Amino acid sequence: MLRDDLGQPLTILREDYSATPYWIDTVDLTFDLDPAKTRVVNRMTLRRNADVPAQPLKLDGEELNLARVLVNGQSASFRMEGKQLVLDNLPAEGSFDLEIFTTCCPAKNTKLMGLYVSQDAFFTQCEAEGFRRITYFLDRPDVMASYTVTLRADKARYPVLLSNGNRVDSGDLQGTGNEGRHFAKWVDPHKKPCYLFALVAGQLVAREQRITSRAGQEHLLQVYVRPGDLDKTEHAMTSLVYSVLWDEARFGLPLDLERFMIVAVGDFNMGAMENKGLNIFNTKYVLANPATATDVDFANIESVVGHEYFHNWSGNRVTCRDWFQLSLKEGLTVFRDQEFSMDLAGSASARAVKRIEDVRVLRTAQFPEDAGPMAHPVRPDSYIEINNFYTVTIYEKGAEVVRMMQTLVGREGFQKGITLYFERFDGQAVTCDDFAQAIADANPESELARQLPQFKLWYSQAGTPRLRVETAYDAQAQTFSLTFTQTVPDTPGQSGKSAMVVPVTLGLLAADGRALPLQQSGDAVPVAAASGTEQTLVLTQARTTVTYGGVTEQPVPSVLRQFSAPVVLEADDSDDQLLVRLRHDSDPFNRWEAGQRLSLRRILAGIAQEPAAASADGQVLLDAAYIDALRQLLRDATLDAAFKELALTLPSENYIAEQLDVVDPQRIHAVRESLREQLAHALYDDWLHAYEAHHDNGGYSPDPVSSGRRALAGLALGMLVLAARRTGDAVWPGRAYQRFKDAGNMTDRQNALLALLGAGHELAQPALQRFHALFRHEALVIDKWFALQGGAVDRQGQVLPQVRQLMKHADFSLKNPNRARSLIFSYCSANPGAFHRSDAAGYVFWSEQVIALDAINPQVAARLARALDRWKKLAEPYRHAAEEALRRVAAKADLSNDVREVISRALAA
């Protein structure tokens, strides 16, 4: 077991939760901002929590220099217990004042937690436990206080001084020693946990917009950026305005502040942070114009702006009792931002595209996590470093759990549940159980209410359930039955699991694609929702059979429509059945899924072939039926381009790897590439047609229709350039290069460059050079430039040497998380064909970078450490080499807890 300096176990257990021994009612902070030595005076009023036995006050602190402690104005004695500041003999009755004087050094704060400097401005990041790096405090989310904050700093260097809430005073400082200095005083009208505290100070400019809510309330919205970036703030502001309107319209949740600010910062550990009234964002999720940002960037900005804004209710007004409940706010808020983007997308097809994209993330990132050494329940039972648990399980699987609740109670019922949840818990710090109970209580007649204890297994059981479906058609009796068998796999620390509540939306198709009516016969399986031709069954048993009567012909089942539950569906659909669904399924998600299954089947067959039997590059023979179906889809004038692009994109290498017990990443890469190349040739005329029909997009707009057209044109161009590899044709590479040069927006430009890179064409190099020259002053575009190279298709093992070379580039820095991610993560985590080298050099590189990053920024290092999570599944020689690399990192003496936890779990599992 891992222990701290005092010999205490490092593992924090959910079952050890106990209420806080003290409440902090008010906090008055004064900052004298100086990069080298910032002085913080923290004046608090506290009182004992009468519900728990009297005990000393233990305040958390980290990397602080403590100068003085006063209790009720008198200097007080204190002691240190490890990192905690301990005060005994505090007044037993009533409130008392506590003043703490500390200093810290923001300039040296490379962890980017607490108060730090980025490009000569001050920023904070407190979630989860960064506030203790600013002052001594009860750093836990269930302690909520009213904050007053005074910022004092040099006026010329830090003209803008921001904190949460409303600015109540500002001006120049008087007196000797204060020449050229000014101050601003902020009061936050809402109580909050300290993880939502924020301050910003620096040279910033703002785009502003005033809006009036439905209730007639006026609000000022501001997006702060560095001077020179204002021309990239329009989309973020528009997204913010839509977010405010949407939350009020869909959930009746209004903005509760006069002023709502977003500030962009170039050095940031994650995407963004929902500090009350003062959201701090990675520049990547704020700055965009058509020349610098892709459609994906525009869509991400909309989601992240929405996400952080929605936290204002789901997270800030009602927060988490403890960090084990993280998904209470994150799962719910991801669900809300997904719904927001879908509602904005408009058409049914655009909604489905968003759903497919979300499921793709879940299956390529969360399913592997749930099957690996870091698997944990949506509500974990233990952790060493909470920052390691901001995971796809907490976020994306957590969102699926909320989505299943909505499916079980219906959209209106869910709305009622949300209203009850906020009524019941406003201003409190609560648990996942509280949330589920509120949704159920608002819908007492629902399947959710009936099955609530079992439903909550989604919070406690880790691992992705597998749902097997077997079907039988009785032509004489005209019945069709489906038998579902459910198993939940063992995960580290959890075995022998129970059956879960699984909502399964399904329909039956005739061979010509007609939807068949659904009438259950025999013992009925509960249904959460039904139309004549679609039902949502609620499975609760390890084995369930449902039988439909009056089925006059052998049907094609379409099961798990809209991906109604986060499970692995195992079905033995024939190719013919999948082809019917690919042509006709009325559910776009399952239509797409049918295509993915057909492709996956061919890829897996290619992988299973003896390498010698297949041609050298893992050639898979493609059948005419499959090719024809894809051709029809590509030519179908009734389908949206965005959907076609998704349907014609092969499953990712990571997703393919998940289907296999033993993974040979090179083989997966070779077979997938071979299939891609064959599709490029077999559908050549169709790609040509698609490109011609979609490549001219007129003026730029990031809406779903035009971005879909660009996506399809990009895919088609990639295929045409790829086809030229074998034919030696110079026309398409030349056209791609030309398009790269002339592109009117970043999406088209990057797609053209990717087409050249994907085909390994010699024009990729001059294009990359030109790209750098054009955008050398745009940090976010330079990130793309690094990412394109770290993620490039590896044809001669050239990618790793190139990555090593790029680390020496003047623009590279390990200290900037975006830059580190753009090059190193793109290579180690997103380029399996280049990373898994038989000479182990990729893993050696990984271990070096994990160690180097850990000394700078443990949170970022721990993310990179996860690139080898699934090493046990690797075939030799990869497996052995990966283990060695993990052991090399583990052997390092002074690893952070962050990296130690990830590596030791990987080696233990």
Nearer to ligand B3K, 376 or 709 (CB): 376
Outline where DSSP puts E strands in 549-612: 556-559, 568-571
List the one residue out of 639, 625, 519 whose CA is nearest residue 584: 639
> Shortest approach of ligand B3K to residue 24 CB, angstroms?
21
> Shortest approach of Zn ion to residue 330 CB, angstroms?
5
Structure tokens, 70: 């006063």
> Shortest approach of ligand B3K to residue 107 CB, angstroms?
22
List the one residue out of 833, 823, 827, 839 whose CA is nearest residue 882: 839
Q: Which does 719 bind (CB under 5 to 8 A by kind): ligand B3K, Zn ion, none?
A: none
Structure tokens, 438: 């509120």
> Shortest approach of Zn ion to residue 311 CB, angstroms?
6
> Shortest approach of ligand B3K to residue 310 CB, angstroms?
9
Q: Which does 204 bind (CB under 5 to 8 A by kind): Zn ion, ligand B3K, none?
A: none
> Shortest approach of ligand B3K to residue 75 CB, angstroms?
36
User: Would you say 489 and 538 are in contact if contact means Cβ atoms under 8 Å apart?
Assistant: no
Structure tokens, 50: 């009468």
**HSE toward the beta carbon, residue 316, CA cutoff 13 A:** 26
Nearer to Zn ion, 333 or 590 (CB): 333
Nearer to Zn ion, 340 or 771 (CB): 340
DSSP 740-792: HHH-SSHHHHHHHHHHHHHTT-TTHHHHHHHHHHHHTT-HHHHHHHHHHHHT-
Structure tokens, 343: 């509602």
Question: Distances in Å between the alpha carbon of 79 and those of 69, 84, 147?
Answer: 11, 8, 26
Structure tokens, 732: 């398409």
User: Would you say 501 and 539 are in contact if contact means Cβ atoms under 8 Å apart?
Assistant: yes
Q: Using CA atoms, how far apart are residues 207 and 550, in angstroms rounded to an integer?
A: 62
Binders in 239-268 for Zn ion, by CB under 5 A: none
> Shortest approach of ligand B3K to residue 128 CB, angstroms?
5
**HSE toward the beta carbon, residue 448, CA cutoff 13 A:** 26
Nearer to ligand B3K, 255 or 722 (CB): 255
User: Would you say 518 and 534 are in contact if contact means Cβ atoms under 8 Å apart?
Assistant: yes
First CA to last CA distance, the chain? 14
User: Would you say 295 and 712 are in contact if contact means Cβ atoms under 8 Å apart?
Assistant: no
> Shortest approach of ligand B3K to residue 743 CB, angstroms?
33
Q: Which residues of 173-208 are buried (b: 16+ CB within 10 A; e: fewer)?
A: beeeeeeebbbbbbbbebbbbbbbbbbbbbebbbbe
Which residues of the chain form contacts with ligand B3K (CB under 6 A)?
127-128, 270, 272-274, 307-308, 311, 330, 387, 390
Asked, as a colleague might, if the bond just before 877 is cis with ω within 30 of 0, I would say yes
Q: Using CA atoms, how far apart are residues 752 and 767, in angstroms rounded to an integer?
A: 9
Q: Using CA atoms, how far apart are residues 629 and 631, in angstroms rounded to an integer?
A: 5
Nearer to Zn ion, 125 or 333 (CB): 333
Structure tokens, 730: 């110079």
Is 308 a known active-site residue?
yes
Unique residue bearing structure tokens 């500030």: 263
Q: Which does 337 bind (CB under 5 to 8 A by kind): Zn ion, ligand B3K, none?
A: none
Q: Which does 390 bind (CB under 5 to 8 A by kind): Zn ion, ligand B3K, none?
A: ligand B3K
Identify the bridge partners of residue 218 per DSSP, sorted by sequence position: 212
List the one residue out of 71, 34, 287 whose CA is nearest residue 158: 34
Q: Using CA atoms, how far apart are residues 223 and 243, in angstroms rounded to an integer?
A: 14
Q: Which does 128 bind (CB under 5 to 8 A by kind): ligand B3K, Zn ion, none?
A: ligand B3K
Binders in 293-332 for Zn ion, by CB under 5 A: 330
User: Would you say 387 and 898 are in contact if contact means Cβ atoms under 8 Å apart?
Assistant: yes
The β-bridge relationship of strands 502-509 and 556-559 is antiparallel
Q: Which does 322 bind (CB under 5 to 8 A by kind): Zn ion, ligand B3K, none?
A: none
Nearer to ligand B3K, 279 or 849 (CB): 279
Per annotation, catalytic residue among 129, 302, 308, 385: 308
User: Would you say 451 and 475 are in contact if contact means Cβ atoms under 8 Å apart?
Assistant: no
Nearer to Zn ion, 220 or 342 (CB): 342
Binders in 325-344 for Zn ion, by CB under 5 A: 330, 333
Nearer to Zn ion, 306 or 842 (CB): 306
> Shortest approach of ligand B3K to residue 339 CB, angstroms?
16
At 564, give phi and psi (nearest 5°). Answer: -70, -10
> Shortest approach of ligand B3K to residue 312 CB, angstroms?
11
> Shortest approach of ligand B3K to residue 395 CB, angstroms?
7
Q: Residue 348 corresponds to which amino acid?
A: A
Q: Which does 270 bind (CB under 5 to 8 A by kind): Zn ion, ligand B3K, none?
A: ligand B3K
Nearer to ligand B3K, 315 or 372 (CB): 315
Nearer to Zn ion, 158 or 310 (CB): 310
Instruction: Output Rg (C-alpha) for the chain, integer angstroms.
Output: 28
List the one residue out of 659, 650, 745, 736 whose CA is nearest residue 697: 745
Nearer to ligand B3K, 44 or 261 (CB): 261
User: Would you say 666 and 833 are in contact if contact means Cβ atoms under 8 Å apart?
Assistant: yes
Q: Residue 278 corresponds to which amino acid?
A: L
Give the interface size with Zn ion as a residue count (CB under 5 A).
Answer: 2
Nearer to ligand B3K, 163 or 275 (CB): 275
> Shortest approach of ligand B3K to residue 274 CB, angstroms?
5
Q: Which does 181 bind (CB under 5 to 8 A by kind): Zn ion, ligand B3K, none?
A: none
List the one residue out of 275, 202, 268 whose CA is nearest residue 285: 268
The β-bridge relationship of strands 57-59 and 556-559 is unpaired
The residues assigned a catalytic role are 308
**Which stretches of the chain bind Zn ion, using CB under 5 A?**
330, 333
